[in-house]
Amino acid sequence: MTQGLRKYLKILRISLVERLAYRADFFLTTFLRFLPLITTFLLWEAIYRGSGTDQIAGFTRDSMIAYLLLVQISRMFSSMPGLSTGIARDIRDGNLKKYLLQPIDMLWYLLSYRGAHKIAYIATTALPYGVLFLLFHEVFTLPSAWTWVAYIVSLLLAFLIGFFFEACIGVAGFWILEVTSLMYIINIVNFFISGQMFPLDLLERYPYVLDVLNVLPFHYLAYFPAMVFLEKKQGTELLVGLLIEALWALALILLSRWMYRLGLRHYSAYGG
């Protein structure tokens, strides 16, 4: 009798542990993912408290938090983890042949693959992000319909810039070996110059640095869409910004295709 009971207690214990493990997995990783964001908020609150002002580089405390949240959305669209290293690996290992033997173009194939991947990713993370935005809903003021349109356009262009920039680096793998290291360095610099760390306006004391960063495509990956949503880019500034973003997207598409074609010639000439 006691033995039978003990057996069922053991089964109960095992299945309980199992269930808890799976839920703990989900909650723990979600919690960890949001940690950097939360600590950054707290850091900024401390800075606002310490500075004694309400405005830092044109940002109130609320709009700063809104900015940091919106940058996450920008990166949801523009980050392409593993894209360039994947392309470079395919080139080096000779896996490229699968694209050459089949009637598909590698870059367009990867673009559609990434697109689908992004949609799935955004769908699965919608819930935790939704909760987070709901928690911080006070810091947002909903923008006008036109701003929404501009915001979505800027995000889609950010996706294209993110994709084709990484594609260019990956295709450079035809000529250089160390794409992984290069990407490491670019990612770190990008974290800073795309405005993920803080709004670029904080560099207002160094206007030439700002000018350079505004010409480069990187701030479109994080900073620009967030600023559009916050309606800090308006009128001609907004239109010019979007135009340059579109031009960058186009330029990177053309550059990556040109590099790819050149690389293929190089590849077949030297027999992969």
Partner 1 sequence: MWRYLKLWLSLAKFSLLGEMAFRGNFLVKIFVEVLWLAILLVFNFTLFQQTTHIENWDVNQYLFFIGCYFAMGGLIETLFLENCNQFADLIRTGDLDFFLLKPIDEQFLVSCKHIDWSCAPNFLLGLGVMGYALWTSGWVLNYSQIFAFVALFISGAALAYGFLLLLTSASIWLMRNQSLYEMWWLFTTLMRYPREIFSHGNWATPAGFFFSFVIPIMLVTNVPARMMVKTLEPSWLAWYALGSAVVVLIVSRYVFRAALRRYRSSSS
Partner 2 sequence: MPIIEANGLSKTYRVYQKKEGLLGALRGLWRREYKEVKAVESVSFTIEPGEIVGFLGPNGAGKTTTLKMLAGLIYPSAGNAQVLGHVPWERADDFRRRFALVMGQKNQLWWDLPAADSFQLHREIYSLSAEQFQRTLGELTDLFGVKELTRQPVRELSLGERMKMELIAALLHQPRLLLLDEPTIGLDVVAQVTIQKCLRDYNSIRGVTILLTSHYMRDVEALCKRVLVITHGKLVYDGPLTGIAERFGNEKLVKLQFDGTETPGDLGAFGEVTSREGPIATLKVERLRVAEVMAAMLDRYTVLDVSIHDPPLDQMIAKVFEEGTTPAPELVEK
Buried b vs exposed e over 208-233: b needs ≥16 C-beta within 10 Å? eebeebeeebbbbbbbbbbbbbbbbb
Burial classification of residue 182, based on how many CB atoms lie within 10 Å of its CB (0-12 exposed, 13-18 middle, 19 or more buried): middle
**Tokens 């869409």 found at:** 225
Q: Which does 19 bind (CB under 5 to 8 A by kind): partner 1, partner 2, none?
A: partner 2
Contact between 265 and partner 2 by CB under 8 A: the answer reads: no
Distance CA 88, CA 178 (A): 9
Task: Tell me which of 4, 5, 8, 22 binds partner 2, using CB under 8 A.
Answer: 22
Name the minimum Å distance from CB 177 to partner 1: 9
Q: How many beta carbons lie within 10 A of that of residue 265, not counting itself?
A: 11
Task: Report the Cα–Cα distance between both ends of the chain, in Å, rounded.
Answer: 72
Single-letter amino acid, residue 233: K
Q: Which does 98 bind (CB under 5 to 8 A by kind): partner 2, partner 1, none?
A: none
**Cβ-based nearer residue to partner 2, 21 or 46:** 21
Name the minimum Å distance from CB 61 to partner 2: 38
Q: How many beta carbons lie within 10 A of that of residue 156, not counting itself?
A: 14
Contact between 13 and partner 2 by CB under 8 A: the answer reads: no
Which runs of consecutive H residues, i.e. helices, occur in the chain?
A: 2-51, 61-78, 83-93, 97-101, 106-135, 145-171, 179-193, 207-215, 223-229, 235-270
**Cβ-based nearer residue to partner 2, 22 or 270:** 22
Write the DSSP symbol of residue 197. S
Contact between 18 and partner 2 by CB under 8 A: the answer reads: yes
Name the minimum Å distance from CB 117 to partner 2: 14
Q: Which does 103 bind (CB under 5 to 8 A by kind): partner 2, partner 1, none?
A: none
Closest residue by Cα to residue 65 from 52, 48, 83: 48
Q: Which does 198 bind (CB under 5 to 8 A by kind): partner 1, partner 2, none?
A: partner 1
Closest residue by Cα to residue 230 from 208, 205, 222, 247: 222
Q: Which stretch binds partner 2 (CB under 8 A): 15-23, 27-35, 147-155, 171-179?
A: 15-23
Residues near partner 1 (CB under 8 A) are: 21, 24-25, 28-29, 32-33, 35-36, 39, 42-43, 45-47, 49-53, 56-57, 178, 181, 184-185, 188-189, 191-192, 197-198, 202-203, 205
Task: Tell me which of 26, 146, 206, 258 binds partner 2, using CB under 8 A.
Answer: 26
**Cβ-based nearer residue to partner 2, 10 or 98:** 10
Q: Please check whether residue 170 is in contact with residue 229, taking contact to mean a CB–CB distance below 8 angstroms.
A: no
Name the minimum Å distance from CB 98 to partner 1: 26
Task: Tell me which of 10, 13, 19, 98 binds partner 2, using CB under 8 A.
Answer: 19
Residues contributing to the site for partner 2 (CB under 8 A)? 18-19, 22-23, 26
